[in-house]
DNA sequence: CGAACAATTGATCCTCATCAAACCTTGTGG
DNA sequence: CCACAAGGTTTGATGAGGATCAATTGTTCG
């Protein structure tokens, strides 16, 4: 039990949202988290569920996605350990989650009640400041992606998506290269295209020696070339 | 002079960002605004300028847009009186504006220094709470627009953009219909398409009696039909 | 009236979505 | 350990939706 508490503290301390808080605030957070485990493919919450909890991922990977009325999925962001999701819960009660949170592998998250966090924020303004900063960063990312999807062709957008993923979740391999774990489908839904087009582009990149591909896997062997595709320094 | 102060107060009190503040906070805000007037086509600030001020529009109309490396423009949002823009200034100093703020007609805005607002927020948490809520609303809007641009065809997206504009800036005419003031070019840049396509679609809508069009002008005569296009209840 | 700028329209072409079918990879149970 | 099922991936053929370019027309304002 003591070990578990310690491990929560480690996650809490690594979380952007919880930087620069007063010791008493961290204490409170460490005392009260709900811990939820969700197996691969399961959901922490669905779109439009009442947003009662704010989550911080402690293990695994999660995709946040919206569903269109006709069933198409659009991925808004990927969550890796240490990142907050479901942040809308910290605003006024009675809100709904704007997206679903589905796990890509067996995952675990800490969760706190929105009411509780609002009380905490009232005593420690750093919490609001951090939240504001995260929200702002997220606005900028969505603006950038909106601009991309409106102005760039698919290959460029996929390059940007891959580079973004590499930065957030990439694993440097001993034998060189940066490995991403993502299916063609999810890559397509992140870039606003179809699995077919994503597959064709990856095949072409592999032919050119920019990446190696595998099932739900992708290794970047020539990041420099990828950047130059992303920046449209070709054609 | 007294009248000017009163008119600032009116704008301040109408601003979402400044709701539910302590009287002392409002007092402080009313005492200190910079007032900037910018004529049609001018800029309150450019993209990447250092973000020193947060603005509230008191008169006119402003478009927030990003420029791509190759000079294409993408419109992120339209600002009407009472709305805040350049909010990034309230975060840590040294940030840059992520978009340019260009006027569509002669405009006036109140501005406050970011440092000053941060001090104010330290004494009146309602300011942070409001800011958080605005940021969140804006995240949701950008997510919705991202989803649209990825999943919907151009006609649908233009319908959505027109309906959004109608809600924000539409003017109900005596002779019936809701008037928007926007050029084909700006409508295209809001919907992620080209002026040519926007023009063709408006012409078709006019033929079908859904809108009347004019130079930098658009009157919705059949909103119901427009909604059904936006929701893809056709074809 | 003429200049500047906004809008329209036609012709053409290109990117990418769609559909269908086959192929490959991984994990499971006999 | 092999065979099979399930699900991810590839590939080809086709066509639709819009972008692009060029030329013309319309509108506003000094």
Using only C-alpha atoms, what is the Rg of chain B? 19
Give the torsion sign (CA, A168, A170, A171, A174).
Answer: negative
Which tokens sit at A71?
């069933």
Q: By the 8 A CB rule, do B180 and B220 touch?
A: yes
B154 touches strand D (CB under 7 A): yes
Footprint of strand C on the protein (CB under 7 A): A 153-155, 192-194, 196-197, 214-215; B 183-185, 195-196, 199-200, 202-203, 213, 215-217
Tell me: pLDDT of A2 over 80.
no
Give this prediction's pTM.
0.94
Say what the pLDDT of residue B124 is: 93
Residues of A with CB under 8 A from a CB of B: 66, 68-70, 72, 74, 76, 87-88, 90-92, 98-99, 121-122, 125, 128-129, 131-133, 135-136, 138-140, 142-143, 145-147, 149-151, 192, 231-232
Candidates A91, A99, A147; nearest CB to B74: A147
- Residue A92 binned pLDDT confidence (cut-offs 50, 70, 90): confident
Measured distance CA(A89)–CA(A91) in Å, rounded = 5
Q: By the 8 A CB rule, do A32 and A120 touch?
A: no
Helix axes A184-191, A195-207, angle to 10 degrees: 110
- Give the SS3 label for residue A152: coil
Say what the pLDDT of residue A6 is: 57
Q: By the 8 A CB rule, do A76 and B146 touch?
A: yes
For the beta carbon of residue A145, count every other beta carbon within 10 angstroms: 24
The pLDDT tens digits along chain B (235 residues) read 444 555 688 899 999 999 999 999 999 999 889 999 999 999 999 999 999 999 999 999 999 999 998 889 999 999 999 999 999 999 988 899 999 999 999 999 999 999 999 999 999 999 999 999 999 999 999 999 999 999 999 999 999 999 999 998 899 998 889 999 999 999 999 999 999 999 999 999 999 999 999 999 999 999 999 999 999 887 5
Q: How many residues make up chain A in this entry?
A: 235
Q: Which is it for strands A62-67 and A34-38: parallel, antiparallel or unpaired? A: unpaired
Tell me: pLDDT of A9 over 80.
yes
The residue among A95, A151, A161 with the most chain B CBs within 10 A of its CB, best to mutate, is A151
Which tokens sit at A228?
């130059």
Q: By the 8 A CB rule, do A191 and A198 touch?
A: yes
- How far does CA B168 lie from the centroid of its chain? 8
- Inter-chain touch A132–B129, beta carbons under 8 Å: no
- Give the SS3 label for residue A196: helix
Say what the pLDDT of residue A5 is: 53
Tell me: pLDDT of A189 over 80.
yes
Using only C-alpha atoms, what is the Rg of chain A? 19
The residue among A125, A126, A142 with the most chain B CBs within 10 A of its CB, best to mutate, is A142
Percentage with pLDDT > 90 across chain A: 86
Query: Cα distance from A2 to chain B (closest Cα, Å)?
Result: 35
Place of tokens 């001993």: A174
């Amino acid at each position: 039990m003591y070990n578990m508490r310690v491990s929560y503290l480690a996650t809490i301390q690594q979380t952007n949202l919880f930087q620069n808080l007063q010791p008493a605030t961290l204490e409170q957070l460490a005392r009260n988290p709900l811990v939820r485990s969700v197996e691969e493919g399961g959901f922490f919450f669905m779109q439009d569920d009442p947003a009662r909890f704010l989550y911080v991922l402690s293990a695994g990977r999660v995709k946040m996605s919206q569903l269109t009325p006709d069933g198409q999925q659009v991925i808004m962001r990927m969550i890796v350990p240490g990142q907050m999701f479901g942040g809308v819960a910290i605003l006024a009660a009675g809100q709904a989650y704007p997206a679903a949170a589905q796990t890509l592998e067996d995952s675990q998250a800490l969760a706190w009640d929105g009411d509780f966090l609002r009380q905490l924020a009232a005593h420690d303004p750093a919490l609001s400041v951090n939240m504001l900063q995260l929200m702002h960063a997220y606005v900028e990312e969505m603006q950038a992606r909106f601009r991309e999807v409106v102005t760039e062709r698919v290959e460029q957008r996929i390059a940007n998506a891959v580079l973004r993923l590499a930065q957030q979740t990439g694993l440097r391999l001993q034998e060189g290269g940066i490995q991403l774990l993502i299916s063609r489908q999810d890559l397509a839904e992140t870039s606003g295209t179809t699995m077919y087009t994503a597959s064709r582009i990856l095949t072409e990149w592999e032919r050119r020696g920019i990446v190696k591909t595998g099932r739900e896997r992708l290794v970047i062997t020539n990041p420099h070339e990828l950047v130059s595709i992303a920046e449209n320094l070709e054609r």
